[in-house]
């Protein structure tokens, strides 16, 4: 390459992008019309925008300015590379890049005139064939695609030996195609709102796109939620009637000429307002719908009436009440279904706001009479059988149960219910309100929209594993900011700036004094992260995992890599924090008793624990997720892992060893009949018994921080009340623990997962110890307040919130002190009422759900096969023992199948002696699952309402591999 060509190259890669970025169109439009193109229309600074907002003169000047840029780029390249025409196309590519990145335009006009100067014959052939194509199909998007394909193809035919030129021409076409996907086109704007002299131009270039069908991908910001949703569902294969859309401001004349309308083919005209049927507001019934339109004149009248209904005072007031902006109304026109039966359906009950029922309302005839409110429809509730089959399988549909009776065929009601539930799944669990009609042959979907009163959706499945049971105010005021804050930190690592505006404090809440996670928020977060909405359940509970959308994943790749970096150095970070924060604080807490501290010092201790506990919470969330992710990616079987370093297994082994040492000191009768305190009194009286008692005391010293629920500061620790542990020790004497399966030699892949499992065990230990010290600090503070009379009875402090405790310690808040007895009593009463609820739903909808009712799907339940998550493989039969709370007087053996609401590390000794385990919540990383795998006990988790469905003494067969429970008796 000569020096002159080097200079030419530098000018092409620098001058052409700058030339492309010069905002000549914006300047021309601003000078002549004072319009800022970046702030009107689509914001695309283009020739079409200049015509639309500025008129013909501005548009022509815009064409000339952009044509000059394209010609200048070609002439620049030709000057330096007269014999290498490929450089002219490279100059156009650089021009287009500048036009896009700097000038916010596509560069179509630049390329058009540049190619004309580059090769007139090529340009003539491309536009001749492309023009014929546009004349035939009358679709601007199709026309663009044809031009972009024709350009390199015709060039290759004209110059088959010029390979480099063909490649560059192809690259230019691909670049333009990519840009067209990234920026909007003002040709999509309603032609009726264009400058008067430009309307004909827009009508011509819009072609038949002025007649927009539901088979086209529609933008909800332009045609409203209703039309865009029906278009999406129709293109996804749902039975949506044929339809067309008239965007706001568009001329209805093309529709009137195009649409078939007659007595035999009536149409229905409906609204599709911008903002209607969104997740926040449905606007149901606010606007006009007109049936039985049978002529062009009636169609025009119907369109006008629907448009006028947007300005109806009632509708306008609704928008003000819902804080919706006044935007515009699109009109939806569809072929009318001749309904034999029609109605509405709700994928979840909007009245009870809980349960599994699909509510269907139906009547003979058209759907409008059901939604009009003028007649009382027949109402049905459909319950799908929960079993091994998928909910939408033929077996499940056949076994589904209907409550309610009427004239509508039961088979049709089931099909409608299945359609509603499938649409809920399609919209990632968002409850749906649908309108449907059956014409005697086909079931048609007329409308689908979110049930706005059922937002957000809350789940207890994962939350019940993290912090189970009824929760007192103090526990929640500590755990909610910890959990929500750490999850927010993790999500922000990935989302970066796109996390702005998301309220992570709404990640969790209390309903009925039980913890719930926000499914709606978590689903939105995971979608923004480029992951499926069910990602959390996949990582924590082994749920199915759908393929994430590749484009969103790529967008979030930097954030995902940041999170992966955190995961990669998790053990090093934990070790650093352990030496710097965790160990020093734990040593400091053990060195000085709480009883020696004043209330102010106790509050300082509480604050220091909370500060470090936030770091521990980070590891307690990320360590199990990391382990699960590694195990799934490396395909490591649970049997290859050693759980001995987890507190639940380690504590069991320690207690079992003490029982083994004590067994030879006692007679068979003493072992069988002594229990609890009597056994320990016997040991104190016999030779060598004191050594056993010393070992037990050391056990309590080492594991006394464990409890039934480690995350709940209101639950006593073993160290405070060892009666349950003594009882378990006595049972270990009578029923020795089975030997743990010997760990097999680990492959390197298993060692990678094992490292994370060991880390999880260390994290659990640190977290549980900090929570225990936090509890003991509150108890010391409560002891002082009981003496002073500020509190009345033990446990009162757990009915205060942390902020209230701070106020009582740090300031003389007389108003709070006076109200304290009433506050505590009200909260005690509320907790007692919630604790008496016989069934707490796993899913509730909305922020203020009513009191839970007994699930109708369980009433008289005769379910024989229950499907859950297999957590520990094996097949076993046994007798059910329902254990709703951890009690000290439960006797079980290897013929017992224990059914529990949840498991925590404190349950471990009890579970290890069972023949099998069934849990209402949990997954493969649950404490119970770990214990079950350690001792080869089959376990099935996530059986909803298992403690209600199953009864003591029933014989069941559980398959820990398939995750099934079969009721035999």
Assess whether pLDDT exceeds 90 at residue 698: yes
State the Cα angle at 495 between 494 and 500, rounded to 5°: 145
Confidence band (pLDDT; 50, 70, 90) for 863?
low
Measured CA distances, 793 to 594, 782, 785, 787, 798 (Å): 20, 9, 10, 10, 11
Going by their DSSP bridges, the two strands 939-941 and 916-919 should be labelled as parallel
Q: What is the mean pLDDT of the chain?
A: 82
pLDDT of residue 188: 53
Average pLDDT over residues 652-667: 85
Stretch 31-48: mean pLDDT: 78
- Tell me the pLDDT band of 387, cut-offs 50, 70 and 90: very low
| Confidence check: pLDDT of 52 > 70 | yes
Is pLDDT at 590 greater than 60 in this prediction? yes
The H-or-E segment that residue 267 falls in is strand 267-273
pLDDT for 602 equals 95
Q: What is the pLDDT of residue 323?
A: 65
Confidence of residue 604 (pLDDT cuts 50, 70, 90): very high
**What pLDDT is stored for residue 388 in this prediction?**
44
Task: Kindly report the three-state secondary structure assignment for every residue of 290-341.
Answer: EEEECCHHHHHHHHHHHHHHHHCHHHHHHHHHCCCCCCCEEEEEEECCCCCE
pLDDT interval class at 392 (50, 70, 90):
low
Work out the pLDDT band at 676, boundaries 50, 70, 90: low
Q: What is the mean pLDDT of residues 344-369?
A: 82
Query: According to the model, what pLDDT value does residue 857 have?
Result: 45
Longest dimension (CA), the chain: 112
> Which helix H or strand E contains 242, and what residues bound it?
none
Pairing of strands 514-518, 358-364: unpaired
Nearest to 587 by CA among 773, 719, 447: 773
Closest CA to 477 of 798, 826, 823, 846: 798
* 818 Cβ neighbours under 8 A, 6+ residues apart: none
Contact 855, 355 (CB under 8 A): yes
For residues 760-764, give the mean pLDDT: 92
**Torsion region of 754: left, alpha or beta (phi above 0 gives left; psi -120 to 50 gives alpha):** alpha
Do 544 and 538 touch, CB atoms closer than 8 A? Answer: yes
Q: What pLDDT was estimated at residue 132?
A: 67
* Phi-psi label, residue 329: left if phi above 0, alpha if psi -120 to 50, beta otherwise: beta
pLDDT at 264: 86
The pLDDT tens digits of the residues spanning 156-166 come to 989 888 888 99
Length of the chain: 969
Query: CB-based burial of residue 405 (10 Å sphere; 0-12 exposed, 13-18 middle, 19+ buried)?
Result: exposed
pLDDT reading at 186 higher than 70: no
Range scoring the smallest mean pLDDT among 29-33, 122-126, 669-673: 669-673
CB atoms within 10 A of CB 790: 15
Taking only the tens place, the pLDDT of each residue in 471-512 is 999 999 999 999 899 988 888 888 888 888 788 888 999 999
What predicted TM-score, i.e. pTM, was given to this entire model?
0.67
pLDDT confidence of residue 859: 39
SS3 state at 383: strand
The span from the CA of 417 to the CA of 399, in Å, is 13
Q: Is 591 exposed, middle or buried (0-12, 13-18, 19+ CB in 10 A)?
A: exposed
Mean pLDDT along residues 586-615: 93
Report the pLDDT value the prediction gives residue 19, as an integer from 0 to 100.
Answer: 92
Q: How far apart are CA 453 and CA 687, in angstroms?
A: 70
d(CA 145, CA 132): 13
Q: % helix / strand / coil in the chain, to the nearest 5?
A: 55, 10, 35
- Helical ranges in 545-675 per DSSP H: 550-555, 557-568, 570-577, 583-591, 599-634, 647-663, 668-673
pLDDT of 214 above 60: yes
How confident is the model at residue 887, as a pLDDT?
A: 61
CA distance linking residue 206 with residue 188, whole number of Å? 7
Lowest mean pLDDT among 330-344, 351-365, 509-523, 560-574: 351-365
pLDDT band at 398 (very low <50, low <70, confident <90, very high): low
Half-sphere exposure of 251 (CA within 13 A, CB side): 17
SS3 623: helix
As a whole number of angstroms, the distance between CA 505 and CA 595 comes to 34
Region 132-143: mean pLDDT is: 58
């Amino acid at each position: 390459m000569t020096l002159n060509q080097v200079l030419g190259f530098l000018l092409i890669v620098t001058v052409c992008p700058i030339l492309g970025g010069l905002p000549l169109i914006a300047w021309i439009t601003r000078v002549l019309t004072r319009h800022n193109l970046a702030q009107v229309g689509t914001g695309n600074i283009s020739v079409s925008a200049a015509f639309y907002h500025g008129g013909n003169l501005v548009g022509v000047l815009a064409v000339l300015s952009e044509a000059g840029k394209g010609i200048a780029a070609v002439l620049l390249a030709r000057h330096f590379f007269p014999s290498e025409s490929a450089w002219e196309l490279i100059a156009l590519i650089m021009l287009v890049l500048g036009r896009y990145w700097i000038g916010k335009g596509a560069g179509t006009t630049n390329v058009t005139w540049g190619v004309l100067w580059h090769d007139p014959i090529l340009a003539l052939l491309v536009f001749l064939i492309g023009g014929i194509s546009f004349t035939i199909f009358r679709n601007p998007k199709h026309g663009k695609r044809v031009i972009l394909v024709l350009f390199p193809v015709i060039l290759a035919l004209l110059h088959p030996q010029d390979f480099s030129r063909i490649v560059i021409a192809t690259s230019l076409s691909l670049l333009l195609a990519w840009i067209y996907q990234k920026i909007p086109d003002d040709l999509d704007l309603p032609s009726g709102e264009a400058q008067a002299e430009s309307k004909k131009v827009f009508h011509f270039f819009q072609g038949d796109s002025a007649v927009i069908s539901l088979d086209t991908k529609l933008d909800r910001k332009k045609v409203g939620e209703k039309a865009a949703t029906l278009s999406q569902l129709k293109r996804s294969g749902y039975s949506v009637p044929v339809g067309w859309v008239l965007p706001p401001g568009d001329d209805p004349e093309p529709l009137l000429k195009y649409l078939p309308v007659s007595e035999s083919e009536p149409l229905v005209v409906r609204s599709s307002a911008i903002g209607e049927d969104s997740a926040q507001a449905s606007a149901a019934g606010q606007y006009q719908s007109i049936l039985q339109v049978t002529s062009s004149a009636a169609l025009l009248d119907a369109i006008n009436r629907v448009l006028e209904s947007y300005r109806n005072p009632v509708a306008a007031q609704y928008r003000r009440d819902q804080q919706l902006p006044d935007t515009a109304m699109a009109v939806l026109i569809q072929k009318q279904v001749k309904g034999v039966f029609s109605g509405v359906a709700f994928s979840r009950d909007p009245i009870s706001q809980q349960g599994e029922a699909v509510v269907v309302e139906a009547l003979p005839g058209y759907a409008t009479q059901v939604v009009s409110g003028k007649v009382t429809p027949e109402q049905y509730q459909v319950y799908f059988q929960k079993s091994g089959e998928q909910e939408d399988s033929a077996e499940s549909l056949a076994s589904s149960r209907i409550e309610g009776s009427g004239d509508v065929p039961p088979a049709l009601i089931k099909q409608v219910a299945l359609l509603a539930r499938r649409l809920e799944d399609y919209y990632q669990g968002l409850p749906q309100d649908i309108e449907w009609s059956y014409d005697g042959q086909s079931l048609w979907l007329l409308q689908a929209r979110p049930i706005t009163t059922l937002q957000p959706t809350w789940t207890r499945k994962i939350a019940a594993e993290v912090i189970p049971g009824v929760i007192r105010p103090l526990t929640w005021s500590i755990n909610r900011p910890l959990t929500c804050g750490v999850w927010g930190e993790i999500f922000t690592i990935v989302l970066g700036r796109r996390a702005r505006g998301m309220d992570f404090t709404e990640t969790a809440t209390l309903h009925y004094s039980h913890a719930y996670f926000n499914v709606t928020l978590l689903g939105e977060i995971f979608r923004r992260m480029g992951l499926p909405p069910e990602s959390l359940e996949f990582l924590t509970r082994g749920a199915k995992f759908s393929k994430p959308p590749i484009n969103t994943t790529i967008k979030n790749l930097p954030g995902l890599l940041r999170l992966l970096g955190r995961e990669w150095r998790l053990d090093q970070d934990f070790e650093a924090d352990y030496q710097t924060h965790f160990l020093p604080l734990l040593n400091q807490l053990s060195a000085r008793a709480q009883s020696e501290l004043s209330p102010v010092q106790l509050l300082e201790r509480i604050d220091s624990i909370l500060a470090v506990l936030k770091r521990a919470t980070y590891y307690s969330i990320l360590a199990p997720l990391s382990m699960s992710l590694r195990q799934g990616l490396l395909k490591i079987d649970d049997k290859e892992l050693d759980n001995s370093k987890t507190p639940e297994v380690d504590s069991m082994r320690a207690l079992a060893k003490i029982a083994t040492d004590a067994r030879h000191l006692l007679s068979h009768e003493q072992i069988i009949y002594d229990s609890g305190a009597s056994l320990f009194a016997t040991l104190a009286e016999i030779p060598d018994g004191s050594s056993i008692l010393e070992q037990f005391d050391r056990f309590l010293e080492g594991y006394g921080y464990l409890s039934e629920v480690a995350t709940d500061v209101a639950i006593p620790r073993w160290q405070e009340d060892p009666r349950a542990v003594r009882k378990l020790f006595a049972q270990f004497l009578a029923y020795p623990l089975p030997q743990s399966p010997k760990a097999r030699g680990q492959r390197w892949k298993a060692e990678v997962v094992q490292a994370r499992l060991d880390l999880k065990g260390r994290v659990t230990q640190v977290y549980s110890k900090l929570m225990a010290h936090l509890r003991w600090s509150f108890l010391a503070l409560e002891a002082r307040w009981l003496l002073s009379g500020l509190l009345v009875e033990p446990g009162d402090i757990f009915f205060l919130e942390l902020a209230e405790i701070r106020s009582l310690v740090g300031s003389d808040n007389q108003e709070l002190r006076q109200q304290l007895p009433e506050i505590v009593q009200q909260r005690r009463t509320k907790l007692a009422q919630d604790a008496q609820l016989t069934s707490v739903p796993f899913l509730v909808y909305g922020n203020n759900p009513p009191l839970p009712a007994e699930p109708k799907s369980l009433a008289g339940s005769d379910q024989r096969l229950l499907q859950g998550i297999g957590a520990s493989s094996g097949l076993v039969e046994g007798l059910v023992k329902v254990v709703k709370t951890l009690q000290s007087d439960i006797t079980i053996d290897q013929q017992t199948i224990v059914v529990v609401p949840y498991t925590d590390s404190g349950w471990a000794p009890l579970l290890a002696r069972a023949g099998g385990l069934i849990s209402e919540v949990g997954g493969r990383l649950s404490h119970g699952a770990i214990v079950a795998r350690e001792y080869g006990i089959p376990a099935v988790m996530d059986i909803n309402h298992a403690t209600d469905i199953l009864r003591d003494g029933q014989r069941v067969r559980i398959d820990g591999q398939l995750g099934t429970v079969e009721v035999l008796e």
